[in-house]
Amino acid sequence: MEQRLSLVTLGVRDLARARKFYEQGLGWTRSAGVEGEVAFYQLGGMILALWGRDALAEDARAEAVAIAPGKSFGGMALAYNARDEAAVDAVLKEAEAAGATVLKPAAKTSWGGYAGYFADPDGHPWEVAWNPFWTLKADGTVSLEAPE
Amino acid sequence: MEQRLSLVTLGVRDLARARKFYEQGLGWTRSAGVEGEVAFYQLGGMILALWGRDALAEDARAEAVAIAPGKSFGGMALAYNARDEAAVDAVLKEAEAAGATVLKPAAKTSWGGYAGYFADPDGHPWEVAWNPFWTLKADGTVSLEAPE
- Structure confidence at residue B128 as a pLDDT band (50, 70, 90): very high
- Reported pTM: 0.92
**Which of A55-59, A81-85, A142-146, B66-70 is the least confident region?**
B66-70
Q: Cα dist. A103→A13, A21, A55, A130, A134 in Å?
A: 22, 31, 15, 17, 24
Our measurement of the distance from residue B37's CA atom to the centroid of its chain's CA atoms, rounded to an integer in Å, reads 15
In the three-class reduction of DSSP (H, G, I as helix; E, B as strand; rest coil), residue B17 is classed as helix
pLDDT digits (tens, 9 = 90+) for A48-105: 999 999 999 889 887 766 555 556 678 899 999 999 999 999 999 999 999 999 999 9
ipTM (interface predicted TM)? 0.91
Q: Which of A5, A21, A122 sits opposite B98 (nearest CB)?
A: A21
**Mean pLDDT throughout B37-62?**
93
Spell out the domains of chain A, with CATH numbers in brackets: 7-143 (3.10.180.10)
Mutate to test the interface with B, among A6, A12, A23, A26 (most CBs of B within 10 A): A26
Q: Does A32 touch chain B (CB under 8 A)?
A: no
Q: What is the pLDDT of residue B122?
A: 87
- φ, ψ of residue B37 in degrees (nearest 5): -120, -50
pLDDT of A135 strictly over 60: yes
Taking the Cβ of residue B15 and every Cβ of chain A, the question of whether any pair is shorter than 8 Å is answered with no
CA A92-B28-A99 angle, to 5 degrees, is: 40
In 3-state terms, what secondary structure has residue A141? coil
Query: Residue B66 pLDDT more than 60?
Result: no
Name the residue with higher pLDDT: A143 or B65.
Answer: A143
Residue A34: HSE in the Cβ half-sphere, 13 Å Cα cutoff: 5
Q: What is the mean pLDDT of residues A13-40?
A: 94
Predicted confidence at residue B100, as pLDDT, reads 92
Q: Is the Cα torsion angle A82, A85, A90, A92 positive or negative in sign?
A: positive
For residue A19, give the chain B residue with the closest CA. Answer: B121
Query: What's the longest Cα–Cα distance across chain B?
Result: 45
By the 10 Å C-beta count (0-12 exposed, 13-18 middle, 19+ buried), B69 is classed as exposed
Percent of chain B with pLDDT over 90: 80
Percent of chain A with pLDDT over 90: 80
Mutate to test the interface with B, among A1, A2, A5 (most CBs of B within 10 A): A5
At B12, the pLDDT band (50, 70, 90 cuts) reads very high
* CA of residue A87 relative to chain centroid, distance: 16
Question: Given a cut of 70, is residue B72 above it in pLDDT?
Answer: no
Contact B76 A76 (CB under 8 A): yes
Q: Distances from the Cα of A111 to the Cαs of A70, A90, A108, B113, B125, in angstroms?
A: 33, 21, 8, 43, 29
Measured in angstroms, the CA of B112 and the nearest CA of chain A are apart by: 27
Instruction: Taking residues A11-33, report their average pLDDT.
Output: 94
Question: Is B97 at the interface with chain A, CB within 8 A?
Answer: yes
pLDDT > 90? residue B19: yes
Q: Provide the 3-class DSSP secondary structure of residue A43.
A: strand
